[in-house]
Structure 1
Amino acid sequence: MKSEILDKKIWQGLVEKNRKDQEVLYRLYYSYGMSICLRYTSNREGAKEVLHDGFMVLFADPKKYNPDQPFKPWFRKVLVNLCINYYKKHQKQSHETGLEFIPESEDAQPSALDDMQYNELVRLIQRLPTAYRTVFNLYILDGYTHEEIAGMMDTSIGTSKSNLSRAREKIRELLKPRSHEKEILR
């Protein structure tokens, strides 16, 4: 599948601050952007906030985007970076208020991710504690290395690896009721 280049007319409209072209772009890429943001945030409101910030990056300075390059990968990178900033902002707030809960899990079972629908997966990921969710998304879904994640999140490589391991454990734990329900229904 070929990555699409942003229509030159739309891009020129963005440069000229044309509201109609901004709206067209927003409508074209809202769902795509929201699917990325939902994976990193714990709720729809947070995802919308990050997504709107992503559009504002482009609307405020459209020349940040090179119109000769595919748009989706560029926009994805902008959104992932904004999600990391959102995480850092809320991480500081949660440490100040002591609100973040990071559960421990000792049980491990085979993953049932293969037969899950995308929306189920997003809801499951959203249930992870913030640090786990962010590392899980960056490593598993977006393909960053632990070294890159540590740099983005201002943590150590060991913390990144630990958070990924704990995210996987938590996902297994969250999947247990689903596996148990399947056995009961048989």
Structure 2
Amino acid sequence: MPGYTSAVLIELLDGCLQKNRRSQELLYKQFYGYAMSICLRYTRSREEAKEILNDGFYKVFTKLDTFDSSRSFKTWLSRIMINTALDHYRQEVRRDVFDDVEVADNVTVDETVISKLAHEELMELIQRLTPSYRIVFSLSVIDGYTHEEIADQLNISVGASKSNLSRAREKLREMLSKINIGDYDRVTR
């Protein structure tokens, strides 16, 4: 946590445990950017991400007594934000949007193209994916969940997780190629 020592963080967390509004406000402000970046990966819009972020911080403040102070607070916060986004997703989208395929092709995205994109551009492309593709892609590629963990979290089969990841990568590849063609057209004019 830049600018915060672990002693300051512990003091903030203690204040939050005591329901001190100022401590809650400071903790919220300190971790807002980090938590928002997580929420944006799972949503289509900033407004939806803010809703998830606020629900997530509510959970942080009401469940802070379950936090193990021997572990990383950022990791705990990240898990809460991801789970809150998944809860939101489950409420908004029915299970039948997932394609249940036993085996999916392993499709890769050209990493050199992705590395040239600004973070904001990549997030915008991810947000354009369908909800099922976006959720599985974010859980797998960005947050490092296994297909078994994704299947368990979303109550789908491992094959559906693999299929959705494969199709998300393919959609991203299509979007990236359109960006590259657009860039090429601008340069050649």
TM norm structure 2: 0.85
- C-alpha change, 1:72 and 1:109, in structure 2 (3 Å) is closer
User: 8 Å contact 1:39–1:137 — kept in the other structure?
Assistant: yes
In the TM superposition, residue 177 of structure 1 has moved relative to its aligned partner by 2.0
User: 8 Å contact 1:15–1:61 — kept in the other structure?
Assistant: no
In the TM superposition, residue 167 of structure 1 has moved relative to its aligned partner by 0.2
1:31 aligned partner: 33
2:104 aligned partner: none
Partner amino acid, structure 1, of 2:168: A
**How do 1:40-51 and structure 2 match up within 5 A?**
40-51=42-53
- SS of 1:61's partner is helix
**Number of residues paired by the alignment?**
175
In the TM superposition, residue 109 of structure 1 has moved relative to its aligned partner by 7.7
Q: Which residue of 4, 8, 16 corresponds with 2:18?
A: 16
Whole-Å Cα distance in 2 between the matches of residues 59 and 36 of structure 1?
18
In the TM superposition, residue 178 of structure 1 has moved relative to its aligned partner by 1.1
TM norm structure 1: 0.86
**How do 1:109-120 and structure 2 match up within 5 A?**
110=110, 112-120=113-121
1:41-76 per-residue CA deviation (whole Å, 9 max, x = no partner) reads 111111111111111112123212122321111100
Partner amino acid, structure 1, of 2:68: N
Whole-Å Cα distance in 2 between the matches of residues 167 and 8 of structure 1?
40
- Structure 2: 5+ residue stretches without partners: 100-107
User: 8 Å contact 1:11–1:67 — kept in the other structure?
Assistant: no
2:170 aligned partner: 169
Identity %: 41
Which stretches of structure 1, 4 residues or more, deviate above 2 A after TM superposition?
108-111
- SS of 2:93's partner is helix
RMSD between aligned residues: 2.4
2:149 aligned partner: 148
Whole-Å Cα distance in 1 between the matches of residues 144 and 177 of structure 2?
26
In the TM superposition, residue 182 of structure 1 has moved relative to its aligned partner by 2.4
